[in-house]
Structures are given as structure tokens and as C-alpha cells.
Amino acid sequence: MKNISIKHCASAFLMLCFFSANAKDYPVTNASAIAALKLQPGDRIIMKDGDWKNQQIVLKANGTEAQPITLLSEKPGNIISSGNSTLKIDGNYLVVDGLAFADGYSEKDAIITFTKTSDHCRLTNTSIINYNHPDKAFDYKWVSVFGIHNRVDHCAFSGKTHQGTLLVVWLSDQPNYSQIDHNYFGPRPDLGVNGGEIIRIGTSEWSMYDSYAKVEYNIFDQCNGETEIVSIKSGHNIISNNLFYECVGTVTFRHGNNSEVSDNYFIGNKVKNTGGIRIIGENQNVHHNYLQGLTGTGLRAAISLMNAYEKPELNQYWQVKNPNITDNIIVDCKEALEIGSGKDSKRVVPPVNIILEDNVIVNPTKLIVYNENVKDASIKNNKVKGTTSSEDGFESLKTDLVRSSGIYQIKGKEKVPFWLNEHIGPNWKIFMRDIKTD
């Protein structure tokens, strides 16, 4: 059996060498030249310097895990896809690296689309900046992620001023396992209407299906499009280790169940209506987040648990059941916690079976707002400092807090925030500003 194993390994190695030796580089100057290529695993398409205005680029091919097919820019960040240029990624094991979209807008489709048949494809080191339709009510996405096991990483997206979510992970009847990481999401103004999220995972129609998407190590900088910065509309997603900096809105469990928001940083710097985490649905897990200087109240409280409809449709508010809210640090926020937020004549069903334990709250204007009487809740071991408010389940903080890496941390449990040692955004330009905490 050992001889067979060695023989198979040798054969696989020789096959890999064969494909590597036969991989080709194809310099191209327009989208038509890309479409005409007969690509094989390991091939690279190199976008040459020149006029890439009004180019509908389609990368349609099949690479392999060992030999992906790559579309890259000869001058990352300097060759601009402008006018009505778009990109479609269609196939398996495809990589797009170093593109830049600016000075234009789409007339119909998303600027960048991973198709429904895309699998293990990657968009990296790419930017979309101020790619806005002159009609601010015109709705198109900047990035649409269909397919499975696709990744968007080390990109920069900034200045979206027209209607529509910036990046959408679309669902099907199978989990997608999408990964959105190490990206810079720059300022977006308040649209004043719904549909201005930065990231949406799913839709209300697909909200009871599981997604298993991950959103991690991203910076959201003054992303103010609407109340929801990240809108979770599906099951089993993880939003972890992100920075939400002066964002007027919240990370919202809008539809679906069994998702997690953990180890994130919400820095409001007392900007008006900056918010934290809004909980709707069942078995949502909120832990080890840091929230500081948030001024939002009600739906935009640092942590808000909403009331629900009695018999909700898929696009309405479902009851909060079994939320797990533990080990969060909330500092200098106007309203640390609100239970039963959004209560009105229709939203009358209160949260139940709340676990609210081991959180640290410092200098809140309001510690906790009860719009409902809680039932079957475990509210205990929460530590408070800087308020005279007395509530069951909250006691005086005796552990020292220290200021480390610009934020308050529990002494002996300090850690370096990710943005101080992780590279965020494209490697050809620094988009992020200095992160300051008041």
C-alpha cells in the first residue's frame, strides 16, 4: 500500500507540474479579448494599460483549487474601469485581482456580480469609488454575491450615494458559505429612505434558509445610508471582528435565526444617532463586543431587543426568543440596553427567555430601558460603573478597567484590536483614516 501511495503522490506532482508548465499569460486591452480566450487552469489574464471605459468584462472559465484562473490588472488601482463598465465572475476557482472602478455608473446590473453558478471564486485587491448614477433614486448594487464559497477580501468601497444596498449575499436553497473580510467600507451619506444598507445577507423571502456567511475583519467608516448597516436576513451567519466607526445605524438581526455578532467594535465618538446591535428572531448570539460613545436610543440603543408582531409575515418582525447577550463592554453610551424597543399597536409581542449575563457597562446615561416585563430571563452578574441606577442583575464593577490600544479593556484581558495588526483594503492604497476614540 505504501508503494501505491507514493506512486499516486508522484503522479499528482507530475500532473501539477504539467499544468503549471502549460499555464499561459494573456495580455488584453478590452473585454472582447477576454471573452474570446479559451482558458485553462493556471492561466492569467493581464489587463494592459489603456482605455477601459464602457467595458462589460465577463470572466467565464473553470480553474481548479491548485490552479485557479486569474484576471489581474497590469497596474493595480491605476487602470480605471469607467463609464458603464461592469464585471461578471462565472465559473469555478476564479480570482479577480487589482481592478478599480471609478468615474462612471451602471445602467442596470450590479457593478460586480458573482453568478449563481460561481463556486470558490474570489474578488480581491479591488476598489469601487463614487460609482454613482446621476439619479440618486436609481437602485443597483455595487457587488452581488450569488453562488457558493465565494470571497470578497482586501477591497475598498466608498462614496455610494444612490439607492440600493452596496453588497448583497443572495440566498438559495443551499448554504452559500460566502466570506467578506478585510475590506474598507467608506463613508456613505444618509439616503433618508430604506435600501441603504452596506451589507445585506439574504432577503425576507429566503430568511428561514441558512446562509453560513462570514463577515469579519472589515472597517465600516461613517456608513450612514440607513438604520441598518449590516442587515442579516438568513440563518447561521457570523459577524465578527469588525469596526463600526461613527456609523449612524446598527448591525441588525432583521430576519432569520441562529446568527452571531461577536468581538466587534462600535465607536460612536458621540456622533448623533450612532447605534449598536438590534436583535430580532430566535437564538441570536451577541457576545464580546465593545461599544463606546454611542448616542442612539430605542432601535439604535447600544443593544436593543425588539418587540414583534403576533402573526408576522416573512417581511415583518418576528419574536425575539432565547437571545444570548454576554461579556459585552458598553462605555459612555446614551442608552446601554433596551428591551421591547419599537413597541407600538402592532409590535406587541415581547422578547422571551433572555440571557443577559456578565456584561460590563460604564457611565451610561440610561442603563436599561424596560418597555416590557421580561419573562423567564436570566439577568445576572452584569457589572456597572458610573451610574446610581439600581437594577436586578446588575452590581458594582470591582475589576479595574484600563485604556489599552485606544479603548477600555478589563485589566489582565487586554487584546490588540484587529485594525492595528491586520491589513485592511487593497495593497496599492491606504483608504482608512486614523481611528480615534474620545
Condensed to tens digits (0 to 9), the pLDDT of residues 307-339 reads 999 999 999 999 999 999 999 999 999 999 999
Mean pLDDT of 200-217: 97
pLDDT value at position 164? 95
Mean pLDDT of 412-419: 94
In the block, cell 439616503 appears at: 191
**pLDDT at residue 211 greater than cutoff 90:** yes
Mean pLDDT of 67-95: 97
Mean pLDDT of 266-290: 98
- Contact present, 218 and 180 (Cβ < 8 Å): yes
| Distance from C-alpha of 370 to C-alpha of 319, rounded to nearest angstrom | 16
CA distances from 69 to 40, 74, 179 (A): 7, 16, 19
**pLDDT at residue 226 greater than cutoff 70:** yes
Q: How many CB atoms lie within 10 A of CB 350?
A: 21
Q: Where are the beta strands (DSSP E) in 105-249?
A: 112-114, 122-124, 127-129, 143-145, 151-153, 156-158, 167-169, 179-181, 184-185, 199-202, 214-216, 219-221, 228-233, 238-240, 243-245
- Note the pTM of the prediction, 2 decimals: 0.94
| Distance from C-alpha of 63 to C-alpha of 41, rounded to nearest angstrom | 4
- Give the model's confidence band at 390: pLDDT under 50 very low, under 70 low, under 90 confident, else very high: confident
Convert the pLDDT of each residue in 244-257 to its tens digit: 999 999 999 999 99
Mean pLDDT of 283-306: 98
Q: Rounded mean pLDDT of the chain?
A: 94
**pLDDT at residue 152 greater than cutoff 90:** yes
In the block, cell 444617532 appears at: 273
Longest dimension (CA), the chain: 75
pLDDT value at position 433? 82
- Contact present, 149 and 169 (Cβ < 8 Å): no
Mean pLDDT of 116-128: 98
Mean pLDDT of 116-145: 97
Mean pLDDT of 395-405: 91
pLDDT value at position 1? 42
Region of residue 416 (left: phi > 0; alpha: psi -120 to 50; beta: else): beta
pLDDT value at position 10? 58
Residues in the chain: 438
Domains and CATH numbers, the chain: 25-420 (2.160.20.10)
- Give the model's confidence band at 193: pLDDT under 50 very low, under 70 low, under 90 confident, else very high: confident
pLDDT value at position 21? 63
- Give the model's confidence band at 2: pLDDT under 50 very low, under 70 low, under 90 confident, else very high: very low
